[in-house]
Structures are given as C-alpha cells and as structure tokens.
Structure 1
Amino acid sequence: MKKQGGVALSGLLFWSIILVLVAVLGMKVAPTFIEYQKILKDAKATVNQVGPESTVADVRRTFDKFAEIDMLDFKSSDLDVSKDGGKIVIEFAYEKRIPLFWNVSLLIDYKGSTAGS
C-alpha cells in the first residue's frame, strides 16, 4: 500500500496566513517605495534640466514643477542642493512610518542622491 502525499489542513492554514501577512506587508510598503523612486527620478530630471550655473532657488523651483506633475507631497525645501566639481548634486533623506497593526509600525529610512548620475 502506498502512502499518500499531500498537504495537511493545518499546514495549508499556516502557510496561507504567512502568505497573506507577506502580501499585506508588501501592499503597505510598495507605495512608499514607489514614492521614493519618483522623488529620485524627479531629482535626476532636475539636475539634467538645470545648468551648472543655476542657483539653489532655480533648482528647487524646477524640482517643484516635476513634483507637482508626479503629485508628490515631498517639498523642495527637504532637498540638500550642492555643487561637486561644477555639477549640481541633489541629496535627500527622510523617514516613512508605516502602521502595521495595533501599536506596531515599520520605519523605513529613505536616502537618495544624484551624485551617481
């Protein structure tokens, strides 16, 4: 007589719960990561659009235009604008707190720079 192989109900429930928790976590984290990617894209587009002779105010104004198009809540006042070797470099860092359940939340530190572009 062959022994039947399969999944027990308890194993199925356990792995289903794990899968649902990972999916919910992914659905909560994904929007913040997408927002970070948009901010980085807008910062790189700003550096590409403005010239090396631009002022900090010009850079912030240009970033605000890109951020308005992408509907970002991130403000240009949170950017650190500097020059490195005659090139404009934009850096930013911020925290995002994602409430998970009860009094448990996930804190993510996002940092970005246009120095590599």
Structure 2
Amino acid sequence: MRNRQQGISLIGALISAALILGALILGMRIVPVYTEYFAVKKALSGLASSAEATSPETIRILFDRRSGAEDINSVRKEDLVISKENGRWVISADWQRTIPVVANVSLLFQFSASSTTNAAASQ
C-alpha cells in the first residue's frame, strides 16, 4: 500500500502567490482613489452647512483651502457646481480618475459627489 502525499505543488504555490500579490498591488492603487472620494464628499458636506459659505466665490475659495489640507487633487474649485435650494447651498462635482495598472492597462473611476443627501437613503 502506497501513501500518497497531499498538498499544494510548487507551481500551484507560485501561481497562488502571484494572484495574491496582484490583488494586493491593485488594492494599494485603489484605496487612495476612494480615500480622496470620501474626502471630497466630506468637504462638500462641510462647506454646504458652513456659516462662512455666503456666495459661490467664497465656497470655491474655502474648497480650495480644504482641498490643500485634505490632499484632494482630482477636483478643483472650478469643477464645483454650486446652487442654492431652500436656503441651503447645494454643491456637487463630477470627475474621473484614471489609474495605470500595467503597461497600457488602466482603471477608470467615475465619481459624482454632492452635498445633498438622498431622502430615501436617510429613511
């Protein structure tokens, strides 16, 4: 009676390690993109409810200051769409971010952030 060895082969281990390493590298490239997205959402919400926000020009200047402190590079003050609804400022921005992965392969992220909250989501 022969005992059969069980386990993973060297090639299987190398392929698994390559897949895990690829997923880690991809994750390390994606996390900063979403961190910036949440920083933009936080900045827009803070500006819309700020007492200092008295005009669109002031809001753009305040966003420019916050973007420097929060390390926001994808959205500029010129990208903001500012309107006033029911006595409250509504600030929104749409932008894209392309992240190169390998050679000519890239990931494209399209974001849209606004200072208003969805009424259905809050209920």
Report the TM-score when normalising by structure 2: 0.82
Shift of 1:3: 4.4
- Equivalent in the alignment of 2:84: 83
Query: Quick check: 1:92–1:113 contact (8 Å CA) kept in 2?
Result: yes
Shift of 1:39: 1.2
- Equivalent in the alignment of 1:11: 12
Structure 1 vs Structure 2 CA RMSD: 2.0
Structure 1 gap ranges (5+): none
Q: What percentage of aligned pairs have identical amino acids? A: 27
Shift of 1:50: 3.3
- Residue by residue, what CA displacement relative to the aligned partner does 1:55-102 show, whole Å, maximum 9, x if unpaired? 111211221221122232232111111122222111111110111111
3-state DSSP of counterpart to 2:6: coil
Query: Quick check: 2:49–2:89 contact (8 Å CA) kept in 1?
Result: no
Whole-angstrom distance in 2 between the partners of 1:10 and 1:48: 57
Whole-angstrom distance in 1 between the partners of 2:67 and 2:81: 16
Query: Quick check: 1:46–1:59 contact (8 Å CA) kept in 2?
Result: yes
3-state DSSP of counterpart to 2:49: helix
Report the TM-score when normalising by structure 1: 0.86
Shift of 1:5: 3.1
Structure 2 gap ranges (5+): 119-123
- Equivalent in the alignment of 1:50: 51
The within-5 A match list for 1:3-42 is: 3-42=4-43
The within-5 A match list for 1:59-78 is: 59-73=59-73, 74-78=75-79
Question: How many residues are paired up?
Answer: 116
One-letter amino acid of the structure 1 residue matched with residue 67 of structure 2: A
- Equivalent in the alignment of 2:97: 96
